[in-house]
Structure 1
Amino acid sequence: MKNRLSRAVWKRVVVILLVCAPFSAFSQYWQAGGFLGITNYSGDLTQKRVDMRYTRYAIGAHVKRDINRYLTLRAGLTYGRIAGADSTNTDTMLLKRNLSFRSPVFEAQVGVEINFLDLDEKKITPYIHGGIGYYSFYPTTKDANGNTVKLRPLSTEGQGMSQYPTRKPYNIRQFSIPFGAGVKLLLTDNWIVGFEFGLRKTFTDYLDDVSLTYIDRNSLLRSRGQQAVNFAYRGDEVTGNHVTPGTYPTDGTTRGSDKYNDWYMFTGLTLSYRFGGGNGYGGHWKKQKASDCPRFF
Structure 2
Amino acid sequence: MGSVFFAGNSFAQQRMPERSTSELGISVGGITYKGEVAPRYRFLSNRPALMVFYKRDFSRALSWRGSLLLGRINAQDEQYQKKVPLAEYRKATVNTSVLELSGGIDYNFLDYYDFRRRTRWTPYFTVGAAAVVYNNKTTAEDPNLIYGQPDNEPYKTGFAFAVPVGAGVKYALSHHLNLGFEFGARAMFTDDFDNLSTKNEQVMNRHDNDWYFYNGISISYTFYRLNCPQ
1:257 alignment partner, one of 202, 205, 208: 205
SS at structure 2 position matched to 1:179: strand
Contact 2:180 2:218 in 1 (8 A): yes
- Give the equivalent residue in structure 2 for 1:199: 185
Q: Higher strand fraction: Structure 1 or Structure 2?
A: 2
**Following the alignment from structure 1 to structure 2, what is the Cα–Cα distance between the partners of residues 73 and 172?**
28
- Give the equivalent residue in structure 1 for 2:105: 112
- Give the equivalent residue in structure 2 for 1:178: 164
2:24 alignment partner, one of 14, 18, 32: 32
1:46 alignment partner, one of 13, 38, 47: 38
1:156 alignment partner, one of 146, 168, 184: 146
**Following the alignment from structure 1 to structure 2, what is the Cα–Cα distance between the partners of residues 190 and 96?**
54
Paired amino acid for 1:45: V
**Following the alignment from structure 1 to structure 2, what is the Cα–Cα distance between the partners of residues 25 and 200?**
39
Contact 1:58 1:80 in 2 (8 A): yes
Report deviation, 1:155. 8.7
1:48-81: CA deviation from partner (whole Å, max 9, x where unpaired): x212332101101111111222111111101011
2:91 alignment partner, one of 93, 98, 121: 98
Structure 1 alignment gaps of length 5 or more: 1-22, 145-150, 162-169, 215-252, 280-287
Report deviation, 1:31. 0.9
Q: Higher helix fraction: Structure 1 or Structure 2?
A: 1
Paired amino acid for 2:130: G
Aligned length: 205
Across the aligned residues of Structure 1 and Structure 2, the Cα RMSD in angstroms comes to: 2.8
- Give the equivalent residue in structure 2 for 1:147: none
SS at structure 2 position matched to 1:256: coil
1:177-197: CA deviation from partner (whole Å, max 9, x where unpaired): 111111110111111111111
SS at structure 2 position matched to 1:94: helix
Paired amino acid for 2:186: R
Paired amino acid for 1:78: L
